[in-house]
């Protein structure tokens, strides 16, 4: 289904596109132990709950290793979520940050995760427009998201 194309400086049209409804879930992405362990080495966060399958089998409430919350967040681009609108006419676009980041539920090793988003707010800025997208990342088949946050994107 095509998404609406709206100019970055058309505040009334952007505000009209704000919705409580999320777009569809993007394609699933498998979170492997190899990926979790590599992230642990790279960030020097090699806590056993993430990187030691034997100990996790014995001592973890999930009975297995889990992905780092920041790994799941870092996988956002790999989840290829569909944008709920196409913003046009801008010279520059950049990630302006995150708000309200929460790691709500664990992502067990070998889970598949998927993401979705919605336009949650619009704000006029000094040089352009800032859009606020609510993002949810969920283990496929789970009843609730594992990670939720608001992504702030600035268009100039």
pTM equals 0.91
Over range 90-101, report the average pLDDT. 96
- Edge-to-edge strands of the sheet including 129-139? 29-31, 111-124, 129-139, 147-155, 93-103
The alpha carbon of residue 112 and the mean position of all alpha carbons in its chain are separated, in whole angstroms, by 14
| DSSP 8-state code for residue 21 | -
Residues 3-36 have pLDDT tens digits of 889 999 999 999 999 999 999 999 999 999 999 9
> Residues 52-72: pLDDT tens digits?
999 999 999 999 999 999 999
Domain residue limits, the chain? 5-30+66-155
Cα 144 from chain centroid? 14
Query: Chain-wide mean pLDDT for the chain?
Result: 96
> What pLDDT sits at residue 1?
65
- The structural architecture, per CATH, of the domain 5-30+66-155 is Roll (3.10)
């Amino acid at each position: 289904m095509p998404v609406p194309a709206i100019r970055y400086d058309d505040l009334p049209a952007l505000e009209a596109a704000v919705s409580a409804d999320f777009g569809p879930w993007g394609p699933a992405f498998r979170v492997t132990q190899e990926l979790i362990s590599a992230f642990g080495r790279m960030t020097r966060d090699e806590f056993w709950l993430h990187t030691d399958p034997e100990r996790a089998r014995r001592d973890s409430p999930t009975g297995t290793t889990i992905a780092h919350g920041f790994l799941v967040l870092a996988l956002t681009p790999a989840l290829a979520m569909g944008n709920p609108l196409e913003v046009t006419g801008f010279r520059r676009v950049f990630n302006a940050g995150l708000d309200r980041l929460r790691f709500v539920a664990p992502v067990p090793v070998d889970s598949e995760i998927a993401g979705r988003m919605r336009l949650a707010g619009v704000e006029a800025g000094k040089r352009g427009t800032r859009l606020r997208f609510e993002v949810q990342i969920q283990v496929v088949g789970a009843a609730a998201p594992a990670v939720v946050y608001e992504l702030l994107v600035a268009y100039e």
